[in-house]
Amino acid sequence: MYASWLLTALLVWPLLAGAIVLLAPARLAKFIALAASLVEFAISVPLWWTFVPSGGMQLTADYAWIAAWGVHYTVGVDGISLFMVLLTTFLMPLSILGSWSYITKREPGFYSLLLVLTTGMIGVFVALDLFLFYVMWEVMLIPMYFIIGVWGGDNRLYAAIKFFIYTFLGSLLMLVAILVLYLHAGQASGVYSFGYAHLLGNAKDLGSLAWWLFGAFFLAFAIKVPLFPLHTWLPDAHVEAPTAGSVILAGILLKMGTYGFLRFALPFFPAVALNQTVQLVIVVLALIGIIYGGLVAMVQPDFKKLIAYSSVAHLGFVMLGIWALTLQSVQGALLIMINHGISTGALFFLVGMIYERRHSRLIESYGGIARVVPLFAAILTIVSLSSIALPGTNGFVGEFLVLIGSFRTYPIATALATTGVIVAAAYLLTALQRVIYNPLAQPENEKLTDLTPREITVLVPLLVLILWIGIYPKPFLERMEPSSRALIQQLRPGPAAGDTPGQP
């Protein structure tokens, strides 16, 4: 009973709440939105226990939608999407609470869009029908476009349209690929349906068509990840977006790209994806992302831009882990997807909080503020360390798994990727030093106030997760394992998939 309506409730409730927020008095908007997102989180929490670690889809629901084209409303979760859904519902209340004093104009619109965005994001992760997936993929685009464009920084219009057009370009080509796949499956089996399992089952014998289709899916997902050289929208969008927008962009939207690879591009076209040349190209691009992203982050004067480029590097690790296709590397990639949402999300929150006080994101505007705002400095340090992947924090577990898992498949690439960890330490620690240590040179910084209870409330859940995953990642890993194993088994049938799960 609970099982069949749970995911649907997660999709419908935010839409409903979004409408309520719009209709209610403007001064109540944020309270209603916060309550709604907490309810959403409460609905999703039982997923953690209801979910039985196994390879298949669970909590599925299936209804006919557009009969003429064989479109169904089909949703379900497995070990890959489960955490993405939970991460989404977990970050939403925090984002709303984090925007409490940041957003001052047109509040109902902002919170309503955040809630609609929630539906879109969860929809992308749970859709098991490619029409539904495509619709959700596009639906989350509009709220984000408005969030950047209306509530963003000075250069927001440029950032918003760049974000929109990049994503739109990728997704429309994916649309054609979905249609070709649909017709191919229809002609092969006589059944015209956009169902995930149906298309997956009939995706064989595509011949050279598979290259084009993979290319279209690749473009859509690679833009979203973003993979070098398609990453140029990301620094603009991240920097201009309001805090909540940056958190969600980094925390969830980027993961849609890597999720897309895991769910669609790899299983549909294994022959192309595991072709030697394609592998080489993607691993090299991931490596460039890791090292180039880190190096560019190192020279950023703007703290927010630094974090944006560090995202490029982190997502490079994810791509490396996915393409290495060992149990450890895939689990590591999934874990980095979660960790990046938590750590980078926390970093964006922290930058947003200090920006509200000082109205500057430049690293050079600060210095020595550890004496003025000790709590802020302490939390920033912990979060930065977790982003650097210090042992004991969540970041370490993920990157370690990816590195040991990938070493067997790509020894040289993995060795090079390891330098990315060092680069990460270089840019984040330097930035940390320049912001919170060094002498307190600027008089404006002497009057900064430390974190308020509301801000602490936003950050504490993130800190708890940083330490929990860092110290005891087993509950996460055991839920991911069967699905990861099934994925690898499907792509690379053989003994390699039978390894014991890596546990640091």
Q: Of all helices (H) and strands (E), which one includes residue 77?
A: strand 71-77
Phi first, then psi: give them for residue 78, nearest 5 degrees: -130, -170
> Is 175 an interacting residue with respect to another protein (CB under 8 A)?
yes
* Eight-state DSSP code of residue 445: G
> Is 168 an interacting residue with respect to another protein (CB under 8 A)?
yes
| Burial per residue of 153-163, b for 16 or more beta-carbon CB atoms within 10 angstroms, e otherwise | eeebeebbbbb
Tell the smallest beta-carbon distance from residue 280 to another protein (Å).
Answer: 26
396 in Cβ contact with 317 (< 8 Å): no
Nearest to 381 by CA among 463, 456, 457, 445: 463
Cα 284 from Cα 209, distance rounded (Å): 24
- Candidate residues 156, 198, 255, 263; the one interacting with another protein per rule CB under 8 A: 156
Strand 71-77 and strand 58-66: pairing?
Answer: antiparallel
Nearest to 283 by CA among 315, 337, 312, 324: 324
Site for another protein in 198-217 (CB under 8 A): 212
Residue in the structure block whose two tokens are 């979660």:
338
Binding range to another protein, per CB under 8 A, among 72-80, 146-154, 371-379, 458-466: 146-154
Length of the chain equals 504
> Is 142 an interacting residue with respect to another protein (CB under 8 A)?
yes
- Candidate residues 9, 24, 43, 169; the one interacting with another protein per rule CB under 8 A: 169
> Is 176 an interacting residue with respect to another protein (CB under 8 A)?
yes
398 in Cβ contact with 332 (< 8 Å): yes
> Is 14 an interacting residue with respect to another protein (CB under 8 A)?
no
- Candidate residues 157, 281, 415, 422; the one interacting with another protein per rule CB under 8 A: 157
> Is 317 an interacting residue with respect to another protein (CB under 8 A)?
no
> Is 281 an interacting residue with respect to another protein (CB under 8 A)?
no
265 in Cβ contact with 217 (< 8 Å): yes
> Is 425 an interacting residue with respect to another protein (CB under 8 A)?
no
Tell the smallest beta-carbon distance from residue 182 to another protein (Å).
Answer: 8
Tell the smallest beta-carbon distance from residue 168 to another protein (Å).
Answer: 6
- Candidate residues 143, 186, 270, 345; the one interacting with another protein per rule CB under 8 A: 186
- Candidate residues 110, 134, 259, 264; the one interacting with another protein per rule CB under 8 A: 134
Nearer to another protein, 129 or 481 (CB): 129
Binding range to another protein, per CB under 8 A, among 84-92, 165-173, 228-236, 473-481: 165-173
With contacts defined by CB under 8 A, how many residues of the chain interact with another protein? Answer: 34
Nearer to another protein, 134 or 400 (CB): 134
- Candidate residues 31, 100, 192, 468; the one interacting with another protein per rule CB under 8 A: 192
Nearer to another protein, 155 or 503 (CB): 155
Residue in the structure block whose two tokens are 């949703």:
75
Cα 226 from Cα 34, distance rounded (Å): 30
438: region left, alpha or beta (phi > 0 left; psi from -120 to 50 alpha): left
Q: Supply 504's token pair.
A: 């640091």
> Is 16 an interacting residue with respect to another protein (CB under 8 A)?
no
Tell the smallest beta-carbon distance from residue 187 to another protein (Å).
Answer: 6
Site for another protein in 206-265 (CB under 8 A): 212
264: helix, strand or coil: helix
313 in Cβ contact with 293 (< 8 Å): yes
Helix axis angle for 2-23 and 29-44, nearest 10°, is 170
Nearer to another protein, 24 or 180 (CB): 180
The contact mask relative to another protein for 42-81 (x = CB under 8 A, - = no) is: ------------------------xxxxx-----------
Nearer to another protein, 102 or 168 (CB): 168
Nearer to another protein, 145 or 476 (CB): 145
User: Count of H helices and E strands in the chain?
Assistant: 23, 2
Helix intervals (H) in 24-67: 29-44, 47-50
Tell the smallest beta-carbon distance from residue 43 to another protein (Å).
Answer: 23
Nearest to 101 by CA among 372, 275, 352: 352
> Is 96 an interacting residue with respect to another protein (CB under 8 A)?
no
Phi first, then psi: give them for residue 347, nearest 5 degrees: -60, -45
Binding range to another protein, per CB under 8 A, among 80-88, 184-192, 442-450, 455-463: 184-192
* Residues engaged in binding another protein (CB under 8 A): 66-70, 134-135, 138-139, 142, 145-146, 149-150, 156-157, 160-161, 164-165, 168-169, 172-173, 175-176, 179-180, 182-183, 186-187, 192, 212
